[in-house]
Structure 1
Amino acid sequence: MRMRHIVAVGAAATALSLGAALPAFAGDAQPSAERSRTAAAHDASDLGALAAKRKVKIYQDAKYKRRNTIFTENMRNLKKDGWNDTISSAKNLGTCTVTFYQHKNYEGARFSLAKGEKEPHFGDHPHMSDATSSVKFRC
């Protein structure tokens, strides 16, 4: 039992000494690791900026009433998100144009809202009254 303890301590000491030696070699790689972290942070901020550009608030009923949510990405098929054929009004809160399509996969009748535009009643557009099945942003 004591021998196992000594072997374990020796293995740990060896690992620590190797770990202590690694920074000398890793020192050359550290700036690129720092660049990677900076690049990752930059990419994350780009995604945040893109989400801010792509932002539409949709409502279940006309005149911005009842259940609502915000989409920040293209939605190819609203059925799996529980919004298929239920959107009746919307406000474009982003800077990209958002297009609502009658069918999934961006097909069928459609209409768009530019930056800052809103639509209080989708029924004012042919074939779009409670008929939206996909949403796509264009920046």
Structure 2
Amino acid sequence: MALQDTKIPYEILIRFGDDGAPLGAHVQYRRRVILDGEVLKDDVLDAEPLGLVDFPTSDLLSEAAEKALATINGQSLALAHAAATEAELRSEIERLQDLASSVVAQAANTEAELQSEIERLQHLTSSAVQNNPTTPAMVDA
């Protein structure tokens, strides 16, 4: 008569918080009692806190953790690259805003110079007409 009473992993539940960090884990085991090849009992036991020490699937969980860390590292590198790109773009935006301000100021100066030149030429024209009696008078139409 060979009696086997075994406890094997059945199910794992891992809860995560809003920040994605693990909050807790529980495991359910199956208890199987076998006598001379006949299954006498096959029950799912109540959930209990999960400890990875000596847990048969710890290699599987370690592999999952390794993949998760690799994903996190990849995302961290992508985030750092995005931050650097953002800094470069902000710097370029600032440079272009300064350039635009300079162009606007230059245009305002040019407009003022042109307006001054127009007024000077109008004054010269007006003076020339008044001082030269041989200039034909303008006829109102």
Same fold judged by TM-score > 0.5? no
Instruction: Compare relative contact order (CA 8 Å, sep 6+) and give the higher one, 1 or 2.
Output: 1
Larger radius of gyration: 2
Structure having the higher helix fraction is 2
**TM-score, normalised relative to structure 1:** 0.29
